Structure 1
Amino acid sequence: MDRRSFLKKAGLAAGATAGAATLAAPAIAQGKRELKMVTTWPKNFPGLGTGAQRVADRITNASDGRLTVKLFAAGELVPAFESFDAVSSGTADMYHAAEYYWQGKHKAFNFFTAVPMGLTANELDAWINVGGGQELWDELSAQFNIKPFMAGNTGLQMGGWFNKEINSIEDLKGLKMRMPGLGGEVLRRLGATAVALPGGEIFPALQSGAIDATEWVGPWNDLAFGFYKIAKFYYNPGFHEPGAGLSCGLNKDVWESFSPADQALVADACKAENNYMYSEFNWNNGSALETLVNKHGVQLKRFPDAVFDAIAGVSEEVVAEVAGEDDLSKRIYDSYIKARKDVGGWGDISEGAYLENRKRVLG
């Protein structure tokens, strides 16, 4: 495509969305485009915020500055939970976020971050990349004028921070806990009050007593947020996010205005971050946990089997109910559960069995 054709095509794409928002179209000058990325993360927050910045930088650098992505952290351009609407309408061009934040738009978005008792990071990647998950995600997001990609994963998350010990299911009743997504609905059915808060609002809510407990991510991020200063009981494993996928969603009109080469460039930048972030969390969580326990006196606890079993039972009910929302929800649910059975079954006799024996023999 020559420069004149490119500018003509880009101008048509920009004009199509100009009525929705004057800020919608990326700035185009002399063949260059500036894209606005909004996020749900605090500015420069380790792992999540820095991961979003890496996606922006990869696109900018790989295009030699022809596509320049400017990142706006939560609250800088729009509030954290308004990122989806900003990109859908064209006020921003792309977001970096967790899809379960959009469950108010469609409950099936949960499957593309994490659902209780769902897929691990490796299993989620297998489903998205090979098992048909991406095609279903594309179909869902297209209803909102968005093209989605996986662009990060935290791995298995911790069960959360509590001001009291959890010895029985009764200890969850009346508890006010920060937990988004379907995990929050599980807590509600067990008698707790689930609250959805963006990352930057969690610490003050815990400090003020507005919430009694919170989950966030894992040791690396939780240490950075300083939850150990308020709560000392740190529980594992997390039932709600066994492999939390993070996403980069692009305004679909903007995406379709890209050349095939630029589409491939953006897709590769997201895939690179998906791999890097998972590695980063795995590398940093162990040393962060050691610091929390040995330096800050955090008490690492494991949920009693009876508590976890009760949570798991309710989780299966909550997740299955999403299939009843509409035909697309059922197709997503059926595909996801098949992946959990097929990929998870292989994992049990491969990595699962190996890790069990490694721990048994080597400690």
Structure 2
Amino acid sequence: MQRRSFLKKAGLGAVAGSAAVAAPAIAQSNPTVNWKLTSTYGPSTPALFSTAQLFCKMVEEASDGNFKIRLYPAGEIVPGFGVMDAVSNGTVECGQTASYYYYGLDPSYSFDTAVPFGLNARQMNAWMLEGNGMKLMRELFAKRNIINFPFGNTGTQMGGWYRKEINSVEDLKGLKMRTAGFAGEVLARMGVVPQQVPPGDIYPSLEKGTLDAVEFVGPVDDERLGFQKVAKYYYYPGWWEGSAQVSLYFNDAAFNGLPKQYQSIIEVASRAAGDRLLTQYDAESPAALRRLIASGAVLKAFPRDVMDAAFQTSNVVYKEFCDKDPGFKKIYDDYMGFRDAIVPWFRVAENSYDNYLGIALANARRG
């Protein structure tokens, strides 16, 4: 992508295509900056990792090569789950991660990624960018010297891979399952033994029997990571992740020390790279799912009683957390208020259209 093309599309330089002196003038005002970006992810999850790669490329091109951000995969500078601390204490200037990995520090971080029976991807974008989501998350992250930006979404995730069928809530009891964030708390109340395992360590744990089940993202990443080779049953939907927002963290002192034009480049480039993440998952998941089924995966929906039990248990946990933590309750009330207001609209428009089209296409194939 040419720099002028990117600036013109992003709205970062109105003069980029006009006067011949404009580009040199901008270049002279751009100081040389070299940063490090550490990620929770790596090449084994290409959709997620390439989002960070694209962001770094955009930033460098938009600054005429003066603002460079070097990307490091999980484990190269800090462990995959060490991104928040590394950005907070200034070990690196920025990081890519999912905030619900830091549930243990504060459950409220989960609202920045996903919570059980929460918003889908479009609804999450609306809450963050048009509702109070960004304001509330900025207040939360400020306590750790972090400025956060939304950095894409996976869309609704799958319910994971299981060695045995899940026919009732009883089948969940004693199950050692890799999961993250708020989902672990809810699943634990349903008898599951949750395990938080970094992406790169999931397959070995499942292969060795340390895990009985695993949820990660969906067909694209699951196929690449090879979960179908060691667990047969593939369940849906991932009720704990109606969407999952990825985040880009910046150390506040580092970000605030940047020239305004660099701050604007970050804002636009993070949005552009993040938008590509969801489109990539949407485009690639159908074929990946077909390949998984062809290779022997058994696709199954969670039984209704499991879904109902999960919904009821989630509400119990939410109430407990709201009763003991005013900060959590403040975010919860706003997030769920937004959910409850927007879901009826989606039922009228999006869901009714999708459901009809799905049935019509299935009937046409049979007929």
State the TM-score, normalized to the length of structure 2: 0.88
Q: Matched residues in 2 for 1:58 and 1:327: separation?
A: 40
1:137-176 pair list within 5 angstroms: 137-176=137-176
Is the 8 Å Cα contact of residues 182 and 319 (structure 1) preserved in structure 2?
A: no
Distance 1:319 1:115 in 2: 10
Q: In 1, are the aligned partners of 2:44 and 2:200 still within 8 Å (CA)?
A: no
- Within 5 A, what are the aligned runs for 1:227-242? 227-242=227-242
Q: Indicate the SS of the match to 2:71.
A: strand
Moved more, 256-265 or 83-92: 256-265
Question: What is residue 125 of structure 2 aligned with on the other side?
Answer: 125
Q: Show the counterpart of 2:340.
A: 341
**Aligned partner letter, 1:299:** V
Cα pair 2:147 2:252 within 8 Å, conserved: yes
For 1:1-363, list aligned pairs within 5 A.
31-43=31-43, 45-294=45-294, 296-363=295-362
Counterpart-to-counterpart distance in 2, 1:64 and 1:48:
25
Write the distance in 1 (CA, Å) between the matches of 2:108 and 2:202: 25
Distance in 1 of aligned mates of 2:324 and 2:263: 32
Contact 1:152 1:247 in 2 (8 A): yes
Q: Distance in 2 between matches of 1:67 and 1:182?
A: 37
For residues 321-363 of structure 1, the C-alpha deviation after alignment (integer angstroms, 9 at most, x for no partner) is: 3334533322211110011011222111110111122223333
* CA distance in 1 between partners of 2:169 and 2:117 (Å): 17
SS in structure 2 of the partner of residue 261 of structure 1: helix
- The letter for the 1-side match of 2:350 is E
8 Å CA contact 2:44, 2:225 repeated in 1: no
CA 1:320–1:277 in 2, change beyond 3 Å: closer, same or farther? farther
Q: What is the identity, as a one-letter code, of the residue corresponding to 1:307?
A: V
Q: Determine if contact 1:43/1:74 at 8 Å carries over to the other structure.
A: no
CA distance in 1, matches of 2:95, 2:151: 10
User: Would you say how many aligned residue pairs link Structure 1 and Structure 2?
Assistant: 333
Per-residue deviation, residues 241-282 of structure 1 (Å, max 9, x unmatched): 110000000000011111222111101111112211000000
Deviation at 1:316, TM superposition (A): 2.0
Instruction: Write the deviation string for residues 203-229 of structure 1: whole angstroms up to 9, x where unpaired.
Output: 000011111000010001000000011
Report the AA paired with residue 146 of structure 1: I
Say whether the 8 Å CA contact 1:320–1:333 is kept in structure 2. Answer: no
Task: Please state whether the residue corresponding to 2:216 is helix, strand or coil.
Answer: coil
CA distance in 2, matches of 1:259, 1:32: 11
Give the % identical residues. 39
Shift of 1:146: 0.2
From the superposition, tell whether residues 320 and 281 of structure 1 become closer, same or farther in structure 2 (CA, over 3 Å).
Answer: farther
Q: Which letter maps to 1:162?
A: Y
> AA paired with 2:95?
Y
Q: 1:44 to 1:193 in 2, by over 3 A?
A: closer
Deviation readout 1:271-329 (Å, 9 max, x if unpaired): 112211000000000000000001x1110011111111111111222234333453332
Contact 1:117 1:316 in 2 (8 A): no
CA 1:325–1:109 in 2, change beyond 3 Å: closer, same or farther?
Answer: farther
Q: Does the 8 Å contact 2:31/2:67 carry over to 1?
A: no
Question: What secondary structure does 1:38 align onto?
Answer: strand
Distance 1:327 1:163 in 2: 40
Contact 1:174 1:191 in 2 (8 A): yes
* Structure 1 SS opposite 2:56: helix
Q: Deviations over 1:13-43 (max 9, x none)?
A: xxxxxxxxxxxxxxxxx93111100111123
Tell me how far apart the structure 2 counterparts of residues 113 and 197 of structure 1 sit (CA, whole Å).
17
What is the alpha-carbon distance in structure 2 between the residues aligned to residue 320 and residue 127 of structure 1? 21
Q: Residue deviations 1:171-203, cap 9 Å, x none? A: 000000000101011111011100001100100
CA deviation map 1:108-166 (0-9, x unaligned): 00001000110000000000000010000000000000000000110000000000000
Amino acid at match of 1:100: Y
Relative to structure 1, is the Cα distance of residues 291 and 90 closer, same or farther in structure 2, using a 3 angstrom cutoff? Answer: same
Aligned partners of 2:147 and 2:251 also within 8 Å? yes
8 Å CA contact 2:36, 2:70 repeated in 1? yes
Match of 1:6?
none
Q: Is the 8 A contact 1:150 1:248 kept in 2?
A: yes
CA contact (8 A) 1:168 1:304 kept: yes
- Counterpart CA distance in 1 for 2:115 and 2:35 is 31
Measured in 1, the distance between the counterparts of 2:324 and 2:202 equals 31
